[in-house]
Structure 1
Amino acid sequence: MAATLHETPARPSADAAAPPDAPAIGLEGVEKTYRSGHETVTAVRGIDLTIPQGEFFSLLGPSGCGKSTTMRMIAGFEEPTAGTVRLAGRDVTHVPPNRRDVNMVFQSYALFPHMTIHDNIAFGLRRKKLPEAEVRRRVGEILELVELGGREKTRPGRLSGGQQQRVALARALVNRPSALLLDEPLGALDLKLRQAMQIELKRIQRDIGITFVYVTHDQGEALTMSDRIAVLNHGVIEQLGAPAEIYERPATRFTAGFIGTSNLLTGMVAERRGEAAVLDFGDAGRVIAATDAAPGDEIDVTVRPEKIALAPGAEEPPAAFSRLRGTVTEVVYLGSTTHYTVRTDSGAQVVVFRQNASDATALSARGEQVWLSWRPESAYVLPHT
């Protein structure tokens, strides 16, 4: 059973007491530019962001999108070129890192190899000159929370990568910050351990109840752990929302392509059917999607691979479904699923994920003619931006 941490008074601050209902973190028009030779490079462009107390929040995007720079401005390691950074309602834009009530965990664990696990975790508490009895109590509590109880006298070199990451996490949490910032902390772990640690991080965050801000380029990590996600691209937030919202209703072409796998189909509206529009590809099929677009408008429709059914070319799909005829060009067997790439007769390339729930040998083969079909509500028309 996870330990319960005792509450202690908040750290003193140079500012007035924060409102009790203030967000954990607030960014108001935050920008960051750098000089590179004779050029000015903009890393972050006017970000506005509010992160409530107790939320697991992820900054997600490709390398160079501005997510780590944003994290470093929250921590105080970078100062914004413009805008305001607030922690618990207080303006900390020009406050140094050691006076901010946040801690940061990096991909490199930075543990002291000559110290025991207990002493590694206790290091910050002893620098604050807490009584040794209080240090022992708090270290014991946090070791139970990260499920390393009984390993107090072990040195880091005798721990696995996942256990060392837990020690780094415990060292940050034992100081009881108002928010914990994690900059791709699982990047050095192998796939299975990384997946296990994702569940552990979410459990620890839920048990301790403080705000986590997590930087990652891994969509799976963000979807697994987050209450909300900000998708960044070229220094701006492309979309902000819950994982299911971002996955099912991407706001831009970038989000649709970056979060998971998505099929993008472009066509001209041929007719309307109630609240839906029909893209007519003649003998190659048609696509039906809910939208207010009028006949003659060009629209982009996205549909996820797992929502598409695949059937032999002789089995025509139901009339109410979207359907496209094509030829299988690639088959990848992955055990629980098989991934198909299909070149439609209209020239589009579509990826289909099929669960191997029954006979895994009954697979469509390369070169086979097939029908692809899906319910109209499984497709989403991307907003015009």
Structure 2
Amino acid sequence: MASTTDPGTAAAERTGQQGGAVPAIALEGVAKTYRSGGEQVAAVRGVDLEIAEGEFFSLLGPSGCGKTTTMRMVAGFEEPTEGTVRLKGTDVTGVPPHRRDVNMVFQSYALFPHMNVFDNIAFGLRRKGVPADEVRRRVGEAVELVELGGRERTRPTRLSGGQQQRVALARALVNRPSALLLDEPLAALDLKLRQSMQMELKRIQRDVGITFVYVTHDQGEALTLSDRIAVMNDGRVEHLGTPQEVYERPATRFTAGFIGTSNLLSGEVSASAGGVAEVPVAGGLVRAVCSAAAGDRVEITVRPEKIALAAEADGGAESGGSELPGTVTEVVYLGSATHYTVAVDGDGGTELTVHQQNTAGPTGAARRGDRVRLTWRPDQSYVLPG
């Protein structure tokens, strides 16, 4: 069941710009409203998306943002109030779920407890009248794909949560759908198992080569798994891009705050030269690579791991860099890294988060109440669009 797609072709397809190739899934102006208490409530507001063949695509956002409703409209469990859903170019709006060439994996697994692993996986094939020999062969392939060989006669109640999730995946994949829809499938697992299953999902998707659409509220999970991410908020797509794009260059203030941890600073540009703007902020100066002119109001984000923290007495910043003086107010030791909260000087009450790897050992750590200076390069300051 391994994919035979040429790696170069697959990479080109996963950009979502396939030079005219028909996308696996397309949403055109899709909206969904419900009536609640006599009022219309908008769950999804005019979403346009194209998901490429063989892409691992994630819908990411907080609870109530519309991501699960969007997936359910792709599956056919919900019908859009407006807009069109297409699968491989075919309009399937109004087509019932069992007639759409997609399968869905739920958070609850939805396994049959009275059936063993083999029978759970074979259930859909038998319902379709697939010959017994073909059922055995395809179930055997699916079992090997999810690495459950030897467990075929075991009932779900005797499996771990991770093994049950593998059975649910095998049951969905054995039908060879054109796309697999996964609704927070790892949410019920503990942290270590969830991280292990993330790697397994990535491997399985790469082996079978079909389109995966993944719903999650976990930013780290989306960044780990996805070729592209649609960040959703209040029924709309706030940012669509690769994991690196949505993390390093967020399109909106919401994306900057929701994806990982971000420090947000605002101010008025005092000078601009050579593509670098200077913004006085909270007792210091922030420099950012951007096209803003003197007098412009800007909002700047800088990630905690980009910031260097040093004792105030250690000297000034490198020429052309940003520098903010402040006082450490909180220290959280996390083993491989330490997270600091620093109240920067000035009367605005601005606090920044700084993440530092623990490479210097305990003697190099700052303590609460220490005076420090924060520095980073101009290209590590990102000015939010608009």
TM-score, normalising length: structure 1: 0.94
Q: List per-residue Cα deviations over 1:224-266 (Å, max 9, x = no partner).
A: 0000000000000000000001100001000000000000011
Residues 325 and 370, structure 1, Cα contact 8 Å, conserved in 2: yes
Match of 1:372 in 2: 374
After superposition, where does 1:211-250 map in structure 2 within 5 Å? Answer: 211-250=211-250
The aligned counterpart of 1:110 is 110
Read off the aligned partner of 2:295 and give its amino acid letter: G
Q: Which amino acid aligns with 1:294?
A: A
User: Corresponding residue for 2:365?
Assistant: 363
- Residue aligned with 1:280, SS: strand
Partner of 2:310: 311
Q: 1:175 and 1:285, CA in 2 relative to 1: closer, same or farther beyond 3 A?
A: same
Q: Where does residue 31 of structure 2 map in the other structure?
A: 31
1:5–1:142 Cα contact (<8 Å) kept: no
- 1:200 maps to 200
Q: CA deviation at 1:38?
A: 1.7
Deviation at 1:75, TM superposition (A): 0.2
Deviation of 1:360 after TM superposition, in Å, equals 2.8
3-state DSSP class of the match of 2:260? coil
1:137 positional shift: 0.3
Alpha carbons 2:338, 2:355 under 8 Å: kept = yes
Displacement of 1:281 after TM fit? 4.1
Give the equivalent residue in structure 2 for 1:67: 67
- Map 1:239-278 onto structure 2 (within 5 A): 239-278=239-278
Q: 1:333 to 1:115 in 2, by over 3 A?
A: same
CA contact (8 A) 1:5 1:141 kept: no
Deviation track 1:320-351 (CA, whole Å, cap 9, x = no partner) reads: 21010000000000000000000000332100
Q: Give me the whole-angstrom Cα distance separating, in 1, the residues matched to 2:280 and 2:104.
A: 53
SS in 1 for 2:195: helix
Q: Which residue of 1 aligns with 2:125?
A: 125
- CA shift digits 1:9-38 (9 cap, x unpaired): xxxxxxxxxxx9421100000000000112
Q: How far apart, CA to CA, are the structure 1 residues paired with 2:327 and 2:80?
A: 52
Structure-1 residue corresponding to 2:57: 57
How far has the Cα of 1:55 moved from its partner? 0.2
Q: Distance in 2 between matches of 1:193 and 1:184?
A: 14
Instruction: Say whether residues 1:353 and 2:351 are aligned partners.
Output: no
Structure-2 separation of matches of 1:185 and 1:211: 16
Structure 2 residue aligned with 1:14? none
**Alpha-carbon distance in 2 for matches of 1:292, 1:383:** 11
Distance 2:153 2:163 in 1: 14
Residue 292 of structure 1 is matched in structure 2 by 291
> Counterpart in 1 of 2:179?
179
2:385 equivalent in structure 1: 383
Q: Which runs of 5+ in 2 are unaligned?
A: 5-19
SS in 2 for 1:289: strand
Cα deviation, residue 87, structure 1: 0.4
Gapped regions of structure 1 (runs ≥ 5): 7-19
In structure 2, distance between residues paired with 1:367 and 1:247? 31
Cα separation, 2, equivalents of 1:371 and 1:122:
62
Which amino acid in 1 is paired with 2:288? A
Q: What is aligned with 1:84?
A: 84
The percentage of counterpart residues that share the same residue type is 71
- Distance, in Å, in 2 between the alignment partners of 1:185 and 1:247 is 23
Distance 1:5 1:291 in 2: 43
Residue 100 of structure 2 is aligned to residue 100 of structure 1 = yes
Separation in 1, partners of 2:92, 2:223: 30
Residue equivalent to 1:143 = 143
Shift of 1:293: 1.5
Structure 1 stretches of at least 4 aligned residues deviating more than 2 Å after TM superposition:
3-6
Shift of 1:4: 3.7
SS of the residue aligned with 1:42?
Answer: strand
Q: Which whole-Å CA distance do the structure 2 matches of 1:158 and 1:281 have between them? A: 59
The CA deviation at 1:383 is 0.6
What SS does the corresponding residue of 2:177 show, helix, strand or coil? coil
Q: Deviations over 1:118-169 (max 9, x none)?
A: 0000001011111111000000001110011121111111111000000000
Name the aligned partner's letter for residue 93 of structure 1: T
- How many residues are paired up? 369
The CA distance in 2 between the partners of 1:5 and 1:163, in whole Å, is: 23
CA distance in structure 2 between the aligned counterparts of 1:5 and 1:337, rounded to whole angstroms: 39
Following the alignment from structure 2 to structure 1, what is the Cα–Cα distance between the partners of residues 130 and 329?
66
CA distance in 1, matches of 2:175, 2:303: 43
Please tell me whether the aligned partners of residues 312 and 325 of structure 2 are also in contact (alpha carbons under 8 angstroms).
Answer: yes
Q: Is the 8 A contact 2:265 2:281 kept in 1?
A: no
Q: Answer yes or no: is the 8 Å Cα contact 1:231–1:255 preserved in 2.
A: yes
How far the C-alpha of 1:5 sits from its partner, in A, is 8.0
Quote the residue 2:11 is aligned against: none
Q: Is the 8 A contact 2:228 2:240 kept in 1?
A: yes
Q: Which amino acid aligns with 2:93?
A: T
Residues 4 and 141, structure 1, Cα contact 8 Å, conserved in 2: no
Query: For 1:130 and 1:5, how far apart are their aligned partners in 2?
Result: 23
Structure 1 CA distance, aligned partners of 2:359 and 2:167?
Answer: 40
CA distance in 2, matches of 1:272, 1:127: 68
- 1:298-323 Cα shifts (integer Å, max 9, x gaps): 10010000000000011222132101
Instruction: Tell me if the contact between 1:59 and 1:67 (Cα under 8 Å) persists in the aligned partners.
Output: yes
- Alignment correspondent of 2:43: 43
- 2:23, 2:145 → 1: CA distance? 25
Q: Secondary structure at the match of 2:143?
A: helix
Which 10-residue stretch deviates more, 62-71 or 288-297?
A: 288-297
Other structure's SS at 1:314 match? helix
2:165 alignment counterpart: 165
